[in-house]
């Protein structure tokens, strides 16, 4: 006998898998879920596989909505995606893939639902139990038996496909949540920010009762009658660490992760499949029809059998994974780089631009089984370059800006980086940026192999064809020295697009001998909307005033203000940290809006918004990697800091449960999140949820 257990309080639609969605007043429930839900998804270009927030949790910070009503369309409409900084891009924009790739730091493509089952196949190696525990935010010995709540056939399907064929769902077409569950989690975890948006249900059911707890778990196997539709409650929804992450309007909250792990035992909400299609509206009553006793008993018996079989399979896989880890300790440096996502490239051409700057043209190396390829990028971005300086030294891993714009034939031309040779260090064991640039100049020859990851970075010039981001403000590019490299790529792009915006290209260097890309830059001097302005700090007799340069001396803010004329401009900065900090503070004092100042520094440094007198700065020394860099409160966790430097320790859950990123602290104080699992080894920390409390030295 059916009985009313609540009513529909909220209906949610998510146009793009793993991105934030929005509420609707009514929705059409179809066999494959709510019409238009997860109509789009991202594919990893390296693995050619549909991906979500479990692999790239930054997707959670993006917001998506359809540009037209889904109810009036037989196809999947175009979608508008909003970035945290306010910029937006349409799915039919030619730069959409590059912009999303820049944000998450991995080459991806945006795709709508396809009719070919091959599109949904899983091509990456099956995850080990350890990886699965990482993704679900469990401890290394966490219980994975909850997976057995799904029928065996469903488990086999999910092992074969990245998402259910013809959908972008991970497990089932529908996911719902009750107000009782949210209230239960909040009452038992009063300091946690329990918000329905974190769990991304299709339906939020107001249970209209004082009863709390995981009510929907009691309905498994039964049916819910909602409006004209009927859905079957399949299994509780096993949750990963994602709800605790930052999302639009929500900050990262480790206490949410603790609530999921400790209170809910990894389950929040329930999955459902569609029995009868129909429309669902806000306020519709929800009636519950329980499953028969026979069906419940049979389902319980089947689950016990699945749990037993799964336990044996997981035990075998755990042993195999441990064995593989022991064997992987002996792999070569090159294989380690490949495991970290680097790909082999060959130096095709090497050209000296000035006495201390050389351009390297690199292309994918044609090797058996190599997935290396050139990906389109945005002017201003950089790649991460790795090279071996002989077996006795560490691997150099450094970031270098791409010094030419991405074009349609980028796959033929490859990447170009232009690197300044720094002064050599006296201590050969001190692996610094100076040594890396010197080794690149003196030892890397045409035909040599280097390893590349990227493109990366959110410092870029948005393409002018982004109709949602039309901007008539003048563009101002300001650089000194080798900081011109990303700026020149931006200049090339802006000149090619010819949007009509006033553009000021302002550069400071010593003299003609150090003036990088001078001839290439001068070709744009005849453009009506482009103003070139160069300052030579050490001009000599061979330099020609008003041709090679327009100011003798260092670049100063007053010159820039007089040239540009208005603070209502968009500025892009690249140079030394001290130059950047002085210029940033001056522009803010002039009245430039913070959101109109974009910048990039050569090394990891405090954000320009936080100068030493505005916030804490600690020095972090990754000893085994021989990298020393400053940390500020905006740098994030030590794991994030390490990854930005090309150091990739094992990590999964990101909130201190998996213990995979445990390392030893050699010197200094570290602040560890209270929600982290207890570590047995004294002096160890979890990089994913630790921040320095002083200058520190880490065994990594």
pLDDT at position 387: 82
Contacts for 660 with CB less than 8 Å, ≥ 6 apart:
130, 134, 140, 649, 650, 651, 652, 653
pLDDT at position 317: 65
pLDDT at position 426: 42
Q: What is the mean pLDDT of residues 526-546?
A: 90
Q: Summarize pLDDT for 239-267 with one digit per residue, the tens.
A: 877 898 889 999 888 889 889 888 888 88
| CATH number belonging to domain 467-601 | 3.40.50.80
More confident residue, 132 or 560: 560
Kind and range of the H or E element at 254?
helix 254-258
Q: What is the mean pLDDT of residues 485-495?
A: 94
Q: Summarize pLDDT for 292-301 with one digit per residue, the tens.
A: 776 666 766 7
399 in Cβ contact with 382 (< 8 Å):
yes
Peptide bond into 455 cis (omega under 30): yes
Over its C-alpha atoms, the chain yields an Rg (Å, rounded) of 28
- Which pairing describes strands 357-364 and 343-352: parallel, antiparallel, or unpaired? antiparallel
Q: Summarize pLDDT for 60-84 with one digit per residue, the tens.
A: 999 999 998 887 666 889 999 999 8
β-bridge mates for residue 20, sequence order? 63
pLDDT at 313 over 50: yes
* 141 closest CA partner among 129, 156, 123: 129
Asked if the domains at 336-456 and 618-698 fall in one CATH topology, the answer is no
Q: What is the mean pLDDT of residues 547-564?
A: 91
Tokens representing 611 are 């100068």
- Tell me, which fold does domain 336-456 have in CATH? Elongation Factor Tu (Ef-tu); domain 3 (2.40.30)
Kind and range of the H or E element at 205?
strand 203-206
543 in Cβ contact with 511 (< 8 Å):
yes
More confident residue, 312 or 479: 479
Contacts for 176 with CB less than 8 Å, ≥ 6 apart:
201, 202, 203, 204, 205, 216, 224, 269, 270, 272
pLDDT at position 36: 93
Tokens representing 276 are 């009868």
User: Measuring CA to CA, how many Å separate 636 from each of 41, 400, 643, 665?
Assistant: 28, 22, 11, 18
**Domain 3-122+161-291 homologous superfamily, CATH:** PK beta-barrel domain-like (2.40.33.20)
Three-class DSSP category at 247: strand
Contacts for 557 with CB less than 8 Å, ≥ 6 apart:
582, 583, 586, 587, 590
Tokens representing 138 are 């469990």
- The span from the CA of 50 to the CA of 35, in Å, is 20
pLDDT at position 367: 64
- The span from the CA of 17 to the CA of 38, in Å, is 5
> How much is the mean pLDDT over the chain?
83
* 65 closest CA partner among 120, 11, 9, 12: 12
pLDDT at position 428: 39
User: Measuring CA to CA, how many Å separate 481 from each of 409, 493, 535, 681?
Assistant: 29, 20, 11, 47
Largest CA distance in the chain: 98
684 in Cβ contact with 663 (< 8 Å):
yes
Residue position matching structure tokens 């209906």: 11
DSSP E strands, 542-634: 551-552, 570-575, 597-601, 618-622, 627-631
SS3 content of the chain, % helix, strand, coil (to 5): 30, 30, 45
Give the long-range contacts of residues 679-683, CB within 8 A, separation 24 or more.
none
pLDDT at 601 over 90: no
DSSP E strands, 413-502: 415-420, 449-456, 475-480
More confident residue, 168 or 633: 168
**Pick from 62-76, 221-235, 292-306, 456-470: least confident:** 292-306
Q: Is 27 exposed, middle or buried (0-12, 13-18, 19+ CB in 10 A)?
A: buried
Q: Angle at which helices 577-590 and 557-564 pack, to 10 degrees? A: 50
Q: Is the pTM of this model over 0.85?
A: no
- The span from the CA of 357 to the CA of 420, in Å, is 4
Q: What is the mean pLDDT of residues 452-470?
A: 78
pLDDT at position 47: 81
202 in Cβ contact with 12 (< 8 Å):
yes
27 in Cβ contact with 279 (< 8 Å):
yes
The alpha helices in 461-540, defined as continuous H runs, are: 484-497, 518-522
pLDDT at 612 over 60: no
pLDDT at 449 over 50: yes
Spell out the domain ranges in the chain: 3-122+161-291, 336-456, 467-601, 618-698
pLDDT at 281 over 80: yes
What is the phi/psi pair of residue 182, to 5°? -60, -40
404 in Cβ contact with 492 (< 8 Å):
yes
pLDDT at position 425: 47
Q: Summarize pLDDT for 357-399 with one digit per residue, the tens.
A: 999 999 988 766 556 678 888 999 999 888 876 654 557 778 8
CA 573 to chain centre: 23
- Tell me, which fold does domain 618-698 have in CATH? Ubiquitin-like (UB roll) (3.10.20)
pLDDT at 162 over 50: yes
pLDDT at position 435: 72
DSSP E strands, 632-689: 662-667, 670-672, 684-686
Three-class DSSP category at 4: strand
**Pick from 150-154, 567-571, 616-620, 684-688: least confident:** 150-154
pLDDT at 18 over 90: yes
pLDDT at position 615: 65
Residue position matching structure tokens 């940033």: 584
User: Measuring CA to CA, how many Å separate 482 from each of 216, 454, 487, 606?
Assistant: 60, 20, 10, 20
Q: What is the mean pLDDT of residues 36-41?
A: 95
Q: What angle do CA 588, 616, 687 make, to 5 degrees?
A: 120
Q: Mind giving me the DSSP string for 15-53? A: SBTTSB-EEESEEEEETTEETTTT-EEEEETTTTEEE-T
The alpha helices in 568-683, defined as continuous H runs, are: 577-590, 638-644
């Amino acid at each position: 006998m059916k009985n009313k257990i609540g009513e529909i309080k909220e209906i949610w639609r998510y146009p793009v898998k793993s991105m934030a969605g929005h509420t609707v007043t009514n929705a059409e429930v179809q066999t494959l879920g709510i019409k238009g839900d997860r109509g789009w998804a991202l594919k990893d270009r390296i693995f050619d596989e549909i991906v979500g927030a479990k692999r790239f949790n930054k997707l959670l910070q993006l917001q998506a909505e359809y540009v037209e009503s889904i109810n009036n369309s037989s196809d999947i409409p175009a979608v508008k995606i909003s970035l945290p900084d306010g910029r937006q891009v349409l799915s039919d924009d030619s730069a959409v893939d590059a912009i999303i790739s820049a944000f998450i730091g991995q080459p991806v493509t945006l795709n709508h639902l396809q009719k070919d089952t091959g599109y949904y196949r899983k091509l990456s190696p099956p995850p080990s139990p350890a990886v699965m525990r990482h993704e679900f935010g469990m401890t290394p010995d966490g219980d994975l038996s909850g997976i057995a709540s799904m029928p065996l056939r469903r488990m086999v399907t999910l092992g074969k496909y990245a998402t259910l064929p013809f959908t972008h769902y991970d497990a089932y077409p529908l996911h719902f949540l009750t107000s009782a569950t949210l209230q239960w989690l909040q009452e038992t975890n009063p300091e946690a920010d329990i918000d329905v948006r974190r769990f991304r249900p299709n339906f939020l059911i107001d249970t209209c009762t004082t009863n709390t707890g995981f009510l929907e778990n009691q309905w498994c196997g039964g049916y819910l009658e909602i409006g004209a539709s009927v859905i079957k409650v399949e299994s509780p929804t096993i949750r990963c660490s994602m709800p605790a992450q930052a999302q639009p309007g929500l900050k990262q909250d480790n206490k949410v992760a603790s609530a999921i792990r400790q209170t809910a035992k990894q389950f929040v909400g329930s999955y459902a499949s569609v029995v009868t299609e129909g429309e669902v509206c806000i306020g519709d009553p929800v009636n519950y029809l329980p499953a028969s006793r026979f069906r419940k008993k049979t389902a319980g018996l089947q689950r016990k059998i699945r749990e037993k079989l799964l336990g044996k399979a997981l035990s075998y896989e755990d042993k195999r994974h441990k064995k593989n880890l022991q064997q992987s300790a002996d792999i070569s440096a090159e294989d380690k780089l490949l495991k970290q996502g680097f790909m082999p490239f060959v130096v095709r051409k090497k050209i000296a631009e000035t006495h201390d700057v050389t351009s390297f043209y690199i292309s994918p190396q044609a090797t058996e089984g190599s997935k290396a390829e050139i990906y389109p990028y945005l002017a201003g971005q950089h790649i991460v370059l790795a090279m071996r300086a002989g077996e006795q030294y560490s691997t150099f891993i450094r970031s270098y800006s791409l010094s030419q714009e991405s074009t349609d034939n980028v796959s033929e031309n490859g990447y170009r980086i232009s690197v300044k040779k720094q002064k050599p260090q006296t201590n050969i064991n001190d692996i610094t940026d100076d040594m890396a640039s010197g080794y690149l100049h003196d030892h890397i020859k045409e035909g040599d192999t280097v390893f590349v990851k990227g493109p990366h970075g959110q410092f870029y010039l948005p393409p002018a064809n982004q109709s949602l981001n039309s901007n008539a403000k003048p563009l101002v590019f300001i650089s000194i020295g080798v900081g011109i490299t990303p700026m020149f790529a931006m200049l090339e792009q802006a000149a090619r697009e010819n949007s009509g915006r006033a553009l000021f290209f302002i550069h400071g260097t010593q003299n003609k001998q150090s003036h990088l890309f001078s001839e290439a830059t001068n070709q744009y001097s005849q453009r009506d909307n482009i103003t070139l302005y160069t300052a030579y700090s050490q001009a000599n007799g061979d330099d020609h005033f008003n041709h090679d340069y327009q100011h003798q001396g260092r670049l100063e803010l007053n010159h820039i203000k007089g040239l540009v004329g208005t603070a209502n401009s968009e500025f892009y900065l690249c140079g030394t940290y001290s130059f950047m900090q002085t210029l940033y503070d001056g522009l803010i004092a002039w009245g430039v809006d913070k959101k109109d100042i974009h910048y990039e520094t050569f090394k990891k440094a405090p954000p320009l918004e936080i100068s030493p007198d505005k916030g804490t700065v600690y020095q972090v020394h990754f000893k085994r990697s021989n990298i020393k860099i400053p940390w500020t409160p905006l740098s994030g966790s030590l794991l994030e800091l390490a990854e930005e430097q090309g150091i990739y320790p094992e990590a999964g859950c990101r909130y201190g449960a998996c213990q995979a990123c445990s390392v030893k602290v050699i010197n200094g104080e570290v602040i560890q999140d209270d929600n982290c699992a207890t570590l047995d080894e004294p002096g160890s920390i979890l990089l994913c949820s630790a921040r320095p409390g002083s200058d520190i030295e880490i065994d990594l």
